[in-house]
Structure 1
Amino acid sequence: MSTFHVIDGSVTQDVIGSAPSDVLELVRETYLQHSCGATVNPNSHFLRFPHDPGARIIALPAHLGGDTPVSGIKWIASYPQNVRRNLPRASAVLVLNDAETGYPFACLEASGISAARTAASAALAVETLADGDTPKTVLFVGAGVIGRTVSDFLAARGTDVRECLVHDHVDAYAETFAAYAADAHGWPARTVSQIDAALATADLVVLATTAPAPWLADGQTLLPGQLILNLSLRDIHPTVMIKCHNVLDDIDHCLTAQTSPHLTETEYGTRDFIDGTLADVLRGDVTLGHDRPTVFSPFGLGVLDLAVGYHIYRTAVRTGRATEIPGFFPELKRW
């Protein structure tokens, strides 16, 4: 690699928005590739701050093998207090490295990549795990970027939503999301203030909050066959998790960092509550019953960011929308 390109967020959004199904298929392929050992996905590294315990910056290094190998790292900041500043909670960059030389060759704005790969994995989980027909009543808990992007991917895949319920601790956010779902997707959408009643009626529950600890506990009613996308990872109490079917994206990764699966393992001293990974279900190695709710908990693998980011990079270069930085490397010969 002798050139270096920068790709801004508007290009990322255009590439993702023009073909969301391509992103979903990339995520599907990457999950299967990861399950076969054709990736390297170390543990994420968390930079935390004693003066602001809710904030963190996370490094996700990864390597994706196959016919077009690539390495890289996502550096993503999560600052929940940003919403009070009228700023998005998360910001990120993705650096891509040549698999042969190690040289970095691109830097991409990556908050959109992160949201898209999360939403694509959520939509893939719905198509893979939903009981019977596609969900008719969908409850979004948390009305931020992740929830909105999940709605975009569900709509792009033709999910037949008959009723969209939105709950957020800030009423204005819930109202904005409901209006978006109605205008952008044509879904009948409304806000709900009573989360318990909404949980008891939804076929699909999308948890996309910033909650630091579990709040969904035994007093709330879940349904057999209900699908819960545990995207924020820390909303569900172990006493609820243990009673559900549980599918993860990667078992070892999910059982860290005080996630709901991690807390459940710690509380009960076993991993027997885990049915398998989404790749296991995709391959037909794991079949789930409909006798209880199913929870999908994706920790968020760096290899997904790489797959989506590399797709965006190649598309941007091919269409002339990547900005080359001449002279980024001062010299490319050792002698």
Structure 2
Amino acid sequence: MSTFHVIDGTVAQDVITSAPSEILEIVRDTYLQHSRGVTVNPNSYFLRFPDNPGARIIALPAHLGGEAPVSGLKWIASYPENVRRNLPRASAVLLLNDAETGYPFACLEASRISAARTAASAALAVETLAPDEAPRTVLFVGAGIIGRTVSDFLAARGLNVRECLVHDHVGAYAQKFATYASDTHGWRARAVTGIDEALAAADLVILATTAPAPWLTDSQTLPSGQLILNLSLRDIHPTVMIKCHNVLDDIDHCLTAETSPHLTETEYGTRDFIDGTLADVLRGTVTLDRDRTTVFSPFGLGVLDLAVGCHIYRTALESGRATDVPHFFPELTRW
């Protein structure tokens, strides 16, 4: 491997927005590969700071096998206080490594990749876990880039939206998101302040917050048949989780780091509340009825970043939009 390329965020975003359904199919295929054991996806590694406990930088190493094997690492920083500076909460890079030599061959701006693979898995979960085409009242809790990207993917997949509700602890952000959803997707959208009423009215709930601990408790009403995408992982109290159908992306990964599924396992001493993984439902080995709320909790697998990143790399290379870095490696022979 003698060349090294950099793909900037503008290129990555262009590739994503030009064909979101292709990203979704890549995510679907990667989930199925992962369930067959064709991937290597170790635990994520968290760098935390005693003087800034809300911030963290996470390393997600991964390997994709199959016909075109590749390894890589996403290095993603999450600094919630950035929002006060009018900066995005997360920033990230993705490194791709040649599977034969181990040499890195590309570095991609990855905050968009991270948002896109999360949004694609969210849209896939909606189509898999709540496949009927009836109009839905959709509630977004958290008005940041993750929620906005999820709305883009849901719109691209033709979700039939009756009404879009948006809640954020900063009312101006919620209003901005609602305007975006209305102007961009043509949805009837509005910001809401009463979260309890919105939760009780919604058919589909997207949790994309920075909450460090559960706030959604069993004092709130969740209708039967509702689907909650627990993207931020820590919003839902164990007393709610235990009453719901629960689908994860990877059971062992989700039951770590004080996520809602992890807290539920710790509180009740069992994993019996978990129905299975999204891949299990895709394969038909797990089926769910609509007798209660269903929660999808995706921990966020590094193999998804890797698969989406490889697609963006190949597309950028083929279209001449990958920036070559000559002499990135000072030596390419041992002697």
| Equivalence for 2:213 | 213
Residue deviations 1:67-119 (CA, integer Å, cap 9, x gap): 11110000000000000111000000000000010000000000000000000
Q: CA deviation at 1:133?
A: 2.6
Q: Report what 1:174 is aligned to.
A: 174
* Cα distance between partner residues in 2 of 1:233 and 1:131: 23
* Amino acid paired to 1:68: A
Cα distance in 2 for partners of 1:132, 1:333 equals 58
Give the aligned partner of residue 100 of structure 1. Answer: 100
- Calculate the TM-score normalised by the size of structure 1: 0.99
Q: Which residue of 1 aligns with 2:276?
A: 276
What is the aligned partner in structure 2 of residue 297 from structure 1? 297
Alignment partner of 1:189 is 2:189: yes
In 2, distance between residues paired with 1:38 and 1:67?
A: 10
Residue by residue, what CA displacement relative to the aligned partner does 1:241-286 show, whole Å, maximum 9, x if unpaired?
0000000000000000000000000000000000000000000000
Q: Which SS does the other structure have where 1:262 is aligned?
A: helix
Cα separation, 2, equivalents of 1:325 and 1:275: 48
Which residue of 2 is the match for residue 41 of structure 1?
41
Hey, what does 1:4 align to over in structure 2? 4
Instruction: After TM superposition, list the pairs within 5 Å mapping 1:91-240 onto structure 2.
Output: 91-130=91-130, 132-134=132-134, 136-240=136-240
Deviation at 1:334, TM superposition (A): 1.1
Describe the SS at the equivalent of 2:247: strand
Whole-Å separation in 1 of the counterparts to 2:126 and 2:134: 8
Q: In the alignment, which residue of structure 2 is the partner of 1:312?
A: 312
Aligned partners of 2:132 and 2:231: how far apart in 1?
Answer: 22
Residue 257 of structure 1 aligns with which residue?
257
Match for residue 74 of structure 1? Answer: 74
Residue 9 (structure 2) pairs with residue 17 (structure 1): no
The alignment yields a C-alpha RMSD, in angstroms, of: 0.6
Deviation at 1:134, TM superposition (A): 4.9
The offset of 1:154, in angstroms, is 0.1
Q: Secondary structure at the match of 2:166?
A: strand
In the alignment, the residues of structure 2 paired with residue 175 and residue 21 of structure 1 have an alpha-carbon distance, to the nearest angstrom, of: 28
Do 1:131 and 1:225's aligned partners in 2 also have CA atoms closer than 8 Å? no
CA distance in 2, matches of 1:17, 1:135: 24
| Preserved contact between residue 46 and residue 57 of structure 2 (Cα < 8 Å) | yes
**SS, match of residue 217 in structure 2:** coil
The size of the alignment, in residue pairs, is 335
Shift of 1:162: 1.3
Percent identity for Structure 1 against Structure 2: 83
1:275 alignment partner, SS class: strand
Distance apart, 1:289 and its partner CA: 1.3
Q: How is 1:24-63 mapped onto 2 (pairs within 5 angstroms)?
A: 24-63=24-63
> With structure 2 as the length reference, what TM-score do the two structures score?
0.99
Distance 1:135 1:207, change over 3 A: farther
State the AA in 1 paired with 2:256: T
SS of corresponding position for 1:327: coil
Partner of 2:229, secondary structure, is: strand
1 CA distance for matches of 2:184 and 2:46?
A: 35
Is the partner of 1:115 in helix, strand or coil?
helix
Report if aligned partners of 1:41, 1:301 keep a CA contact under 8 Å in 2.
yes
Q: CA deviation at 1:132?
A: 2.8
Q: What amino acid is aligned across from residue 294 of structure 1 in structure 2? A: T
Does structure 2 retain, via aligned residues, the 8 Å contact 1:127–1:134?
no
Contact residue 95 and residue 107 of structure 2 kept, 8 A: yes
What amino acid maps onto 2:33 in structure 1?
Answer: Q
Distance (whole Å) between structure 2 residues aligned to residue 68 and residue 306 of structure 1: 12
What is the match of residue 332 of structure 1? Answer: 332
- Tell me which amino acid in the other structure corresponds to 2:313: Y
Task: Read off the aligned partner of 2:242 and give its amino acid letter.
Answer: I
CA distances 1:189-237 after superposition (whole Å, capped 9, x unpaired): 0011000000001010000000000000011000111000000000000
- Moved segments of 4+, more than 4 Å: none
1:248 corresponds to: 248
**Partners in 1 of 2:47 and 2:299 — Cα distance?**
17
Separation of aligned partners in 1, 2:66 and 2:264: 35
Paired with 2:50 and 2:296, the residues of 1 have a C-alpha distance of: 31
